[in-house]
Amino acid sequence: MEFRPPLFLMTGLCWLILSALLGVAIFLGMVMGKPLPPGARILHVHSALVGGVAQIILGALLAFIPPLLLTGRDRPESHPVLYLAINGGAIGLLAGFALGQSALVGGAGLLVLLAFLSLAGETFRQAKTSLVSPPLNLWFYGIALLALLVGLGMGEAMAFRLLPQAYVGQERLAHVHLNLMAFVTLTIVGTMHNLFPTVLNTSLYSPRLARLTFFILPAGILLLITGFLLAHLYLQIAAGALFILGTLLYASNIVRTWIGAGRPRAVSSDHFLMATFFLLATAITGLLVAVNSLWNPPLMPFGTLHLVAYTHLAMVGFILQTIIGALSHLLPVSLALGRVKSNKKRGPYLAELTALVEQWRPLQVWALSLGTIGLAFVATLVWQFNLISVPVLVATWTAAGLLTTGLVLFGSKVARLLLRQPQDQGHE
């Protein structure tokens, strides 16, 4: 069996779909007054972030870094140890949380940590032997990987109780934001400056805006982590404002690149644009949450349901939509390259796969987008209505139905892509 980057992408997608369905069940149980066991939420989060998002990013970096450094021919194409480490780590984390065994959680986290340390070490070796200077976005990946390693290290320290328990809340905030905001967000932003123009077959609107983004976003994140560790609310607010500035620069570059390409409509670009919108919405909402905490008690009540809505602006609106957009572009290309050796025959087959991915495009994009907005709408309704009121229940089932529709639609497309073999030549 070949453990190539597409296998990482597909396995990560399976983790994401299973996690998303569990998340829908948790959400419905919360609103319906029949909550799932408390451990279900932590299983949902870690299966999505480790088994899903981290594995997809790992696979993408394995695929993208050699071409950036022009060292792909000298690198192994199969990565069984990394594949077993990331999936073994994800399974171990879930088992440890389910059994309440912090030692198992810590050991599984070490597997994930070692997988990314191995990637970082291999990337450094490639950079030393490369005949080209590392491009700017590769340095951006380096910052993201460093943040991940620190975040995973903090997770290990918390699992083995090596950090002061009196500050566990601050430590957890730093751990989550290092992994989610610093690693995932920076990796996606760095990749999108190359991937989005490639999808549109054009050039990036402004490399200068990209360079500004590469400096401002990490600075805002570093300031935010410092604010969490120091429990300094004003520092967190200042960091949020700086992060919004970086997000605005990034969004402007993405949108103007799309406009310059003639405003094309395709499933990948639609998901990328929606993801950009939700990244900006998440940044603004996060700043408002921090400002709301200036009052004691907060000016607007902020409970578990509001936290779920806020976090899923990022998880579903930004991260999941970006992943679906990327896979919608990359899967047809990788399948065509892997299954058809003839350049002449590959074009029609790729066109066939692309047409399959483009089916039901508006429904898929808007179901996920409106479902995410629906989560936020439910959270705002509970300021006026109780959980079992008709408006809350209608909004809840509508949001859950939309999210499930988008996920099932995309999942069915992936299954059809995998089953669709080239005509008249079988599997090459």
Kindly state whether residue 258 falls inside one of the protein's structural domains: no
Q: What is the pLDDT of residue 167?
A: 82
Of 72, 103, 134, which residue is a domain's last? 134
Reported as a pLDDT band with limits 50, 70 and 90, residue 339 is: confident
CB 314 within 8 A of CB 282: yes
Q: Are 59 and 7 in contact (CB under 8 A)?
A: yes
Last residue of a domain, one of 134, 166, 182: 134
User: Could you tell me the two tokens for 51?
Assistant: 């088994």
Decide which of 165 and 185 is more confident. Answer: 185
154 domain residue, yes or no = no
Residue 132: the pLDDT is 55
Question: Per the domain annotation, does 56 fall within a domain?
Answer: yes
Tokens describing residue 184? 């995932």
pLDDT tens-digit map of 41-87: 999 999 999 999 999 988 888 877 766 555 555 567 788 999 999 99
- Domain membership of residue 303 (yes or no) is yes
Whether residue 382 contacts residue 375, with contact meaning beta carbons closer than 8 Å, is answered with no
> What mean pLDDT do residues 364-380 have?
95
| pLDDT-above-70 percentage for the chain | 93
Of 102, 134, 166, which residue is a domain's last? 134
pLDDT at 333 over 80: yes
Which is more confidently placed, 115 or 161? 115
Look at the alpha carbons of 78, 79, 84, 89 in this order and tell me if their dihedral is positive or negative: negative
Over residues 375-414, the pLDDT tens digits come to 999 999 999 998 889 999 999 999 999 999 999 999 999 9
Q: Is residue 207, in this structure, part of any structural domain at all?
A: no
- Residue 169 C-alpha from the chain's centroid: 23
**pLDDT in the model for residue 70:** 55
The CA distances from residue 109 to 37, 99, 101, 138, 249, in Å, are 23, 15, 12, 25, 35
DSSP state letter for 135: P
How buried is residue 304: exposed, middle or buried, by Cβ count under 10 Å (0-12/13-18/19+)? exposed
Nearest residue to 329 (alpha-carbon basis) of 353, 347, 348, 345: 353
First to last CA, the chain: 16
pLDDT category at 428 given cuts 50, 70, 90 is very low
CA 112, CA 51: separation in Å to the nearest integer? 10
Domain total in the chain: 2
pLDDT value, residue 212? 94
pLDDT reported for residue 131: 52
pLDDT at 142 over 90: no
| Single-letter code of the amino acid located at 234 | Y
For residue 398, being part of any structural domain is answered with: yes
- Residue 30 pLDDT > 60: yes
Whether the per-residue pLDDT at 313 is higher than 90: the answer is yes
Can you give the pLDDT at residue 427?
Answer: 43
**Is residue 36 included in any domain, yes or no?**
yes
pTM: 0.91
How high does pLDDT run on average in the chain? 89
| Domain ranges, residue 45 | 1-134
Residue predicted with more confidence, 4 or 8: 8
Residue 332 located in a structural domain: yes
